[in-house]
Structure 1
Amino acid sequence: MNSLQDALYNWLTIKVVCDERPEDTAAADTEKMFWGMLSDDHQLSNIEIETDAVMYYVHYDHAGDRKKARFPRELIEIMLNQINASPEKYENYPE
């Protein structure tokens, strides 16, 4: 099983891609998979994202407590930046 930190990182990275590319079915399917890990495996709820110029902050409820994780923007946005730099490598295929 992935650690909670890994699951949050993976979900947030693909969530950023989904938000920028709503037609990307592969990204949407991957985001749903990681969302399931957060909610089912790690029992997180009420997940919210906040950003500033440097960081992403993920606020969530776990075991009755409100918690927060943070990730540098450059790490979270790396996949989106790669897709934008070479869109021909990330063509969306209809279902």
Structure 2
Amino acid sequence: MSLMDALFYWLQMKWVSSAHPDDGAARETLLFFAQILSEDHELVSYEVSSIDAGKVHVTYAKTDGSTRTVWFDREAVEQLNRDMFNDQKE
């Protein structure tokens, strides 16, 4: 799995976990992607650094000391949470 894919999936699960703090499966999945980020991609930190109307920015640091900020489309990040919420309503 690419670094950008792993960051995106981690971000989606972070969004879902924040919206549904009692969802154990969401927490476990969030931890799974965190493990991929640290073990496979050698990240020592990663966090949401800013959110605006259209983008979610994530800043990460690697074991070599390099840092980078990337952004993801906010609508795409929120989509999984919307899909889950809509499924629960039906």
Query: Do the two structures share a fold, i.e. TM-score over 0.5?
Result: yes
Mapping 1:8-87, distance limit 5 Å: 8-49=7-48, 50-62=50-62, 63-87=64-88
Aligned length: 88
Q: Secondary structure at the match of 1:53?
A: coil
Report the counterpart of residue 92 of structure 1 in structure 2.
Answer: none
Structure 1 unaligned blocks of 5 or more: 90-95
RMSD of aligned residue pairs (Cα, Å): 1.2
Q: Percent of aligned pairs with the same residue?
A: 34
Report the counterpart of residue 3 of structure 2 in structure 1.
Answer: 4
Structure 2 unaligned blocks of 5 or more: none
TM-score normalised to the size of structure 1?
A: 0.86
CA distance in 2 between counterparts of 1:84 and 1:55 reads 21
Residue 48 of structure 1 and its aligned partner are, at CA, apart by: 1.6
Q: Deviations over 1:37-60 (max 9, x none)?
A: 001111112212021111011101
- Structure 1 runs of 4+ off > 6 angstroms? none
